[in-house]
Amino acid sequence: MHRTKESQTWLQRLENFHPYETMLYLGMLGSGLIFLFLALAFLITGEIRQEMLSHRMPVAFLISTAVLSLSGYTAGKIRLYYGEENISKLETALRSTFMLGVIFTVLQFAGWKELTAMGIRFTGLPAGSYLYLLSGIHIFHLVGAMTFGMILLFQLRKTQGDGIQELIWVTNPFEKMRIRLFTVYWHFMDAVWVTLFLIFVLKF
């Protein structure tokens, strides 16, 4: 008897995913657990609390949070424009998301520089090490998403000027899946950073 979507277990649904989807969701689960354990370790490490009371949250972290939140908006537009088959706006949204990711990454390094100036160093207090480690791992994951976004952008640009290739690209189920996976992962990284930022605020 054919099982309905509602009656299928999460494992059965996972088996029906494309291998790329399975890898992404399992990767997100693994990454989420890593961030969770490191964030908990950061929270329960109290040595840095007294040190941070005389400091403020790095301005670069504040600005980078706003930048990444904006990139979440532009990433959401990618799927919208893909569904509308609007190649021009799709490319703009994809490029904007990528550039905002670059700006975010640069601001993270600027935030590390501010932390160092405050006397909070990677090799110092344990919680200080977690602070650098959490933001560093997040950058590593985001760079992976940016690389994939750059590949999508390059492939999209190759179709420009060729109406048939554009039509094939925007109607191809495989490309639709890749766009969806990119936006899902980008929003995941966006949510992870906002959560980390709020945790950092608790410590300052």
Helix (H, G, I), strand (E, B) or coil at 88: helix
Find tokens 């766009």 and name the residue.
179
Q: Is pLDDT of 1 > 80? A: no
Model confidence pLDDT, tens digit, residues 26-40: 889 999 999 998 888
* Domain ranges across the chain: 10-203
Residues in the chain: 204
Mean pLDDT score, 160-189:
84
Model confidence pLDDT, tens digit, residues 120-157: 777 756 667 788 889 999 999 999 999 999 999 888 88
For residues 49 and 204, give the distance between their C-alpha atoms in angstroms, rounded to a whole number.
7
Find tokens 């670059």 and name the residue.
102
- Determine how many CB atoms are found less than 10 A away from the CB of residue 199: 18
For residues 95 and 109, give the distance between their C-alpha atoms in angstroms, rounded to a whole number.
22
pLDDT of residue 14: 58
pTM: 0.83
Mean pLDDT score, 10-39:
80
Model confidence pLDDT, tens digit, residues 167-180: 777 778 888 888 99
For residues 32 and 192, give the distance between their C-alpha atoms in angstroms, rounded to a whole number.
8
Model confidence pLDDT, tens digit, residues 68-81: 999 999 999 998 99
Radius of gyration of the chain (CA): 20
For residues 82 and 189, give the distance between their C-alpha atoms in angstroms, rounded to a whole number.
21
Domain 10-203, what architecture?
A: Up-down Bundle (1.20)
Cα torsion 117, 118, 121, 126 to 10°: value is: 180
